[in-house]
Structure 1
Amino acid sequence: MSRHDPHPPETPATRFLRQQHIAHSSHLYAYEDHGGTAVSARELNVPEHAVIKTLVMENERREALIVLMHGDRKVSTKELARQTGHKQIAPCDPAVAQRHTGYMVGGTSPFGTRKALPVFMEQTILELPLIYINGGKRGFLVGIHPHDIIRTLHAKLVHVAIE
């Protein structure tokens, strides 16, 4: 698919958004391996702070969870463990993350995951009027209102951002 394809891809995430009646815009861009949110923000001409990463992590019992974080911030896993009542939280191996979500790393969306996973969202994301989050495919973001994540994914708010 070229970035000029007028039709956004159909993914489990876009099906979920439609089923939940969540208004969203579709944004295709030229994906770059290891480019991260800096590339998507540049390509879409939006602040990297408004591009939200979907990170798959696991606790000490190897139970997966999703963390949503600003593109220009990192997650304090120590603080996340403390706020969620776990001894330890660490990033999942990419292959394990793909098994849990059904998405390739770089295209992971919190919507329409293979398994229902607990979602934790950096609370400052709610301060943004619009966010851009992965739509389930590399090079594809959707623009949504952040409160829709709370409503549909029952995300729990945490304060774990590191600049």
Structure 2
Amino acid sequence: MKTNAVRILDNLGIRYKLQDYQVDPDDLAAESVAQKIGLPPEQVFKTLVVRGDRTGILLAVIPGNTQLDLKALAQLSGDRKVETVSLKEVQPLTGYIRGGVTALACKKDYPVYVDELIELFDLISISAGVRGTQILLHPSDYLRAVKAVVGMISQDKL
């Protein structure tokens, strides 16, 4: 199945592999997805929708086994304060449902901030824009495709 996210990668000439997995609507955690596709959770990146007080909507992409460091993201994005948007806002803003959000092919071209841990890996996994399919690709290709700003924006889960 070709999603809009996959079409963007095709148009950019980026090589990738699609990996399907069984969706559990009661457990959409990145750690669960990682287990189902056979990757460590730190290589499965999740995309969070965030609102900055100055910049508006932006996307934060962090390893699946971490949580977003709001202060670090605010500093990196030039905001005084950032907060994740409510779940009911995610689909109207991005066109994607929870568990299928990706920085590729959102409704609008939002700024994308990616945690620097992405550079530790030869292969990462991101959502293909639907629940049940992940895209496996090289981090540098992903960063180029989403025009990402890279910085330390995650922290260990409390």
Partner of 1:10: 2
Deviation at 1:110, TM superposition (A): 1.0
Q: Does 1:25 align with 2:14?
A: no
Residues 104-137 of structure 1, C-alpha deviation per residue, up to 9 Å, x if partnerless? Answer: 1110111111100000000111111000100010
Tell me the distance in 1 between the aligned counterparts of 2:135 and 2:64: 14
Q: Does 1:102 align with 2:87?
A: no
CA contact (8 A) 2:20 2:134 kept: yes
Deviation at 1:35, TM superposition (A): 3.1
Matches within 5 A, 1:70-149: 70-149=63-142
CA contact (8 A) 1:59 1:86 kept: yes
Tell me the distance in 2 between the aligned counterparts of 1:94 and 1:148: 29
Deviation at 1:95, TM superposition (A): 2.6
CA contact (8 A) 2:55 2:78 kept: no
CA RMSD of aligned residues (A): 1.3
SS in 1 for 2:23: coil
The runs of at least 4 consecutive aligned structure 1 residues that moved more than 6 Å come to none
Partner of 1:153: 146
Deviation at 1:62, TM superposition (A): 7.5
Partner of 2:46: 53
CA contact (8 A) 1:101 1:113 kept: yes
Tell me the distance in 1 between the aligned counterparts of 2:13 and 2:38: 27
Percent identity for Structure 1 against Structure 2? 26
CA contact (8 A) 1:31 1:39 kept: no
Residues 2-44 of structure 1, C-alpha deviation per residue, up to 9 Å, x if partnerless? Answer: xxxxxxx221111111111111100110112233111111111
Gaps of 5+ in 1: 1-8
Gaps of 5+ in 2: none
SS in 2 for 1:66: strand
Deviation at 1:61, TM superposition (A): 4.9
Gap change, CA 1:145 and 1:134, over 3 Å in 2: same
Deviation at 1:60, TM superposition (A): 1.7
SS in 1 for 2:118: helix
